[in-house]
Amino acid sequence: MTTAPIVTIERASKLYVTGTERIWVLRNVSLSIDRGDLMVIEGPSGSGKSTLLNLVSGLTRPTKGNITVEGRDLAKLDLDQLAILRRKRIGFVFQSPNLFPHLTALENVMLPSRGATEERGRELLEMVGLGARLANHPHQLSGGEQQRVAVARALINNPGIVLADEPTGSLDRKKTLEIMNLFRKINEKGSTFLVVSHDPVVASLGLKRVVIEDGRLVDEDD
């Protein structure tokens, strides 16, 4: 039995209008993301990567086209329903960890929890290699360790998919490899990742790779 994709993007385009200028940031993009994928969308700055991620999260609506997440047509959801979808079914990892400095690693992980137990938070920090740093505050952690806390936080509500926007953009090569290998380790346990990056090293470590240029998909590897 074939499982339906967790995300389906059908002929999506996004137009921004500034004064008299019309900019098509995305043009006719179609893409499917299956459960258990670790997909990396690679492209230079301004290619439309982050816009595509925002469309999948419902933060931005396409000018044309259709997007479904776990069978939900995002065009049929109002703002409150989209917010609930993001809280319950989508995890986020950004370039900056965005941790609260006055909270411990465990408290930062638990912050967006929707009923998850503290034991779940401890298990996630153990999984990302920070089981001994539960009580540490962000200033006591390295940049790579802070990003690991952010990854654990993204998983606290057991989301259907994790969206990662340049998650290694502020890290050196060694820590970049550590974070991507961590994604692969978590992916092997069943989590689905959609990662956007301009770094070919990141793209090479994804199980699926998509290249976007000037708002169009130009290459896709299975």
pLDDT in tens, 18-48: 888 999 999 999 999 999 999 999 999 889 9
Q: Give the confidence band of 1 by pLDDT, cuts at 50, 70, 90.
A: very low
Give backbone dihedrals phi and psi of 135, rounded to 5 degrees, phi first.
-90, 0
- pLDDT recorded at residue 221: 66
Q: In sequence order, which residues have a C-beta less than 8 Å from that of residue 92 and are 6 or more positions away? A: 57, 86, 154, 162, 163, 164, 165
- pLDDT recorded at residue 222: 56
- pLDDT recorded at residue 81: 96
> Residues of the chain with pLDDT > 70: what percent?
98
Residue 77 has pLDDT above 60, yes or no: yes
Pairing mode, strands 216-221 and 72-73: unpaired
Query: CA neighbours within 13 Å on the CB side: how many for 133?
Result: 22
- pLDDT recorded at residue 4: 82
Residue 2 has pLDDT above 70, yes or no: no
- Domains of the chain: residue spans and CATH: 7-221 (3.40.50.300)
- pLDDT recorded at residue 116: 86
Residue 69 has pLDDT above 70, yes or no: yes
